[in-house]
Structure 1
C-alpha cells in the first residue's frame, strides 16, 4: 500500500500525509509554522494521485506559489512530481513530495522475545552513586504445552491453529505488556531507587544511554495522569536530569527526557535517552519515529500540560506519526532506510 508525504525541506515541521484523491489545504497555520501574512491560510490545495505518482497543486492565495521556480498562477493547477520543489509563496517555504510503500504493522508475536523497551545497556559508562555497574541479561521464558488438550482448527489460509495456541498467545501478550512491573522490582536491573521512583536500564536500548524512570505508584500511562501526580512527575524529571549530569559522556552527547504518547508497555515510564541513537536495537521506522516525532512528548511539556489542564491530552493522530518518512533529527535530511540513517548519523556522532 502506497503513502504520500509532503515534506518541509527546511525542517519547519514534521511531514504531512496526503491521502489519495483527497484535498489538503496548506498555508499559514500552526501546523506548517508559517506566520508570513503574505501567505494565505489556504495558499495551495494539494491532491495526491497515488496511481499516477504526482500531486496536483492548485494556487488559491493571491501571492504566487511556485513549482520548480515557475509560478502556478491563481486558480491554476500544475503537477508536482517527486524531486520537484514547491515553494508555498514568494519563493519561500520549500516542500517536496515522497511516495513510498507503507510497511504492514502486522508482526508475529515471538514468545521468547520480551518487549523492546527495557534492557541492560552494555554501552553505558560508570556513573557514581546514582548508577550501579551490575546488570543481568534478559531472561528467557519457557512454556509447556499439553498436546492432548489442543483443539485444532483450520484458518482460511490453510494454516493450523489451536484454541490452546490462541489462549497462550493472549496470555503471553498480557505478560509482555506487564513486563515493566516485573523488571522494576528486580534488584539486578535497578540502577537507582528511592521512596518515589526506580530507574532501570532499557533492555533493548535505542541509544548508547537509555534509562527508564518509573514511579512506585501504580500509574498505567499518560492518560491516567492527573494533577495529583504532578509532584511525582517533577521528581521523575529531577532524577532523569541527575542521571544525565552524572553520565560521563553528558558533555559530548545531548539527552532528551520524555514519554511515548501511546506506550505499548503498561506502567508510566520516563525515557532518558542520548541523542546519538547508536544501538543495534534500533531496527525499524517505528523505533525511530517513536523518539523523533511529536509521538515523543517532552517531560517539561507533560508537566506543564498537567499543571494547566489537570491531565495529559493525547491527540488521535499520534499513531500516524510512526509511519512518517525517516528524517535525521540533526540536519533534517531524509533517508530511505534505517541502515542509511545509521550511516548518516555517524557523521553527527562519530
Structure 2
C-alpha cells in the first residue's frame, strides 16, 4: 500500500499518533486519541496503526481491524465512565484527514470548536457514516463510495436541525445555545 504521509494539516494525525503522550488507549493494531478540535464534550479518534489512507480503501480483509477499532471505541467510552447510547461512532463520508479514523463523539455537541454549519453537517447528516453501516457494506463485499459533489453540497446546505429534538436553528450560534440547554438539563 502506498504511504499516506503528506504535508500540512491533512497529515497531522500521522504525527499525533506517533507521540505516546497523545494515546488514551492502544492495542497491537490501533490507538485512541483525543480529537484536537473536539466538536462535543467527548470526541475521540480511533486509528489503525496500519497505513490505510481512508474509508475508500477498506475491503473484506479489513473486517477484523474494523472490529478492533469498534472495540477500542467502546473501551474509551467505558473508560470515560460514559454510556454507549450517548455517542455516535462512525466515519466521515467525506474525510478531510489522511489516515483512516473512526470518530467516537458524544451526542451533546457542546464545544467551542463547533463553529460552522459544515462541522455540524459532517456529524449530523449522511456525511457521517455509522460504523455498523460501513461494516455491513464491507462485509457484503462492497466498497464505500465517495458521495457526488451535488449531494455533498445539499447535505452541507441542509437545515440546522437539532439531533435531539425537532428544533431547527437559524444559525450556528442559535443551535449552540439550544444544544447547551439540552446538555444543562441532563446535568
TM-score (norm 2): 0.89
Out of 186, 190, 193, the position equivalent to 2:26 is 193
**In the alignment, does 2:173 pair up with 1:345?**
no
Q: Which runs of 4+ in 1 moved over 4 A?
A: none
Find the aligned partners of 2:113 and 2:131 in 1 and give their Cα distance. 23
1:319, distance to aligned residue in structure 2 (A)? 4.2
The superposition leaves residues 227-269 of structure 1 with CA deviations (integer Å, 9 ceiling, x where unpaired) of 1111111110111012112222438x71010000011101000
**Is 1:204–2:42 an aligned residue pair?**
no
In the alignment, structure 1 residue 334 sits paired with structure 2 residue 168: yes
Would the aligned equivalents of 1:209 and 1:273 in 2 still touch at CA under 8 Å? yes
SS in 2 for 1:191: strand
RMSD: 1.6
How many Å separate the matches in 1 of 2:17 and 2:153? 27
Aligned to 1:217: 50
Partner of 2:89: 257
Question: 1:311 and 1:238 mapped to 2: Cα distance?
Answer: 22
Distance 1:234 1:248 in 2: 21
More helix, by proportion: 2
- Separation of aligned partners in 2, 1:331 and 1:218: 39
CA distance in 2, matches of 1:224, 1:290: 20
What residue ranges of structure 2 are gaps of 5+ in the alignment?
Answer: 1-5
Q: Deviations over 1:110-159 (max 9, x none)?
A: xxxxxxxxxxxxxxxxxxxxxxxxxxxxxxxxxxxxxxxxxxxxxxxxxx
The answer to whether residue 23 in structure 2 is matched with residue 184 in structure 1 is no
Task: For 2:66 and 2:142, locate their aligned partners in 1 and report how far apart those are by CA, in whole Å.
Answer: 13
Q: Is the 8 A contact 2:32 2:76 kept in 1?
A: no
- For 1:279, the equivalent position in structure 2 comes to 111
Matched ranges for 1:1-350 at <5 A: 174-250=7-83, 254-316=86-148, 317-350=151-184
1:53-77: CA deviations, max 9, x gaps? xxxxxxxxxxxxxxxxxxxxxxxxx
Question: Aligned partners of 2:136 and 2:161: how far apart in 1?
Answer: 28
User: What is the DSSP-based 3-state SS (H/G/I as helix, E as strand, rest coil) of the residue aligned with 1:200?
Assistant: strand
> d(CA) in 1 for partners of 2:15 and 2:44?
16
Q: Which has the larger radius of gyration?
A: 1
Tell me, in whole angstroms, the C-alpha distance in 1 between the residues paired with 2:137 and 2:29: 21
Point out where structure 1 has 5 or more consecutive residues left out of the alignment.
1-172
Q: Which structure has more strand as a fraction of its residues?
A: 1
Count of residues paired in the alignment? 177
Please, what TM-score do these two structures have when normalized by structure 1?
0.49
- Contact 1:260/1:297 (CA < 8 Å) preserved in 2? yes
Using CA pairs under 8 Å that are at least 6 residues apart, name the structure with larger relative contact order, 1 or 2. 2
